[in-house]
Amino acid sequence: MLSLNYLYCFLLFYIVIPQGALSKGELKTLNEETWTEMLTGEWMVEFFAPWCPACQQLQPLWKEFAGWSDDLGIKVGNVDVTNSPGLSGRFMITALPTIFHVKDGVFRQFRGSRDKESFISFVEEKKWQSIDPIPSWKSPQSYQMTTISLFFKLSMLLRNTHNTLVQDYGIPYWGSYIIFGLLTILVGSLLGLLVVCVIDFFCPSRVGYQPIPKNANSGDLHGKKNESDGEYEGEDVIKEDVADDTDIRRRKELKSPK
């Protein structure tokens, strides 16, 4: 009986407790508020959607791979693009599932086989070093990708609003489209007015042309400008005098005997 107690103690301290004390890696769920965590350290992140068949097949393997994260010295996470549409725009997700390797804020897209062994060897053998990182202008933390993420959020907001109007309030589809059309015109008009005000504030229009008054003598000497054809009346008088002198000279030449 005593030997059995020693055996139980042996199993408890050398088998059960060590196995329970080993902390198994966990799968971290990221969203639009916590995605910046992947900018620190080394990560493998999957972007998926619940309705995607390929994503559904990958989920068990991805969870198994997350269990090896502590042994590999990395963190494994996933992002549900249906709950975080802004991240799908920020990372330019065009196919599902999409997997990224992140090392200290440098992103590389994983394009290998989707099985646990391939994931482990990709990290353990540092195969990611042979993959070109994402260009800086497409980096998720860049200003332009942040702007794109805002547009994705706006599109999802409009979609949810449309569904609310149709399903909850019973408004027909054409009625919802009319409401969105009127709101688009109103918002566009307000933005146009705002742009005009900003331009007028920073680039004010010049003062209109004001003619300089002339005295009578100046008008007699140089002639007055004709507003209709842009010529001076004095110039017309000079032209007429020259024409008269020419006619008189021709007549004298004709009358003079040869």
Return the structure tokens found at 92: 């330019």
**Range list of β-strands (E), 40-151:** 42-48, 75-80, 98-103, 106-110
Instruction: Confirm if 69 and 23 have CB atoms less than 8 A apart.
Output: no
Residue 179, Cβ neighbours under 10 Å: how many? 14
Catalytic residue among 9, 52, 197, 203: 52
DSSP assignments along 16-45, one per residue: IHHHHHSPPP-EEEE-TTTGGGGGSSEEEE
Q: Which of 9, 55, 197, 203 is catalytic?
A: 55
55 is catalytic: yes
**Distance of alpha carbon 24 from alpha carbon 38, whole angstroms:** 19
Q: Is 209 helix (H, G, I), strand (E, B) or coil?
A: coil
* Amino acid at the residue 258: K
Task: Name residue 253's amino acid.
Answer: E
Strands (E), 5-118: 27-30, 42-48, 75-80, 98-103, 106-110
Strands ordered across the beta sheet of 42-48: 27-30, 75-80, 42-48, 98-103, 106-110
Closest among 141, 99, 95 to 122, alpha carbons compared: 99
Where in the sequence numbering do the catalytic residues fall? 52, 55
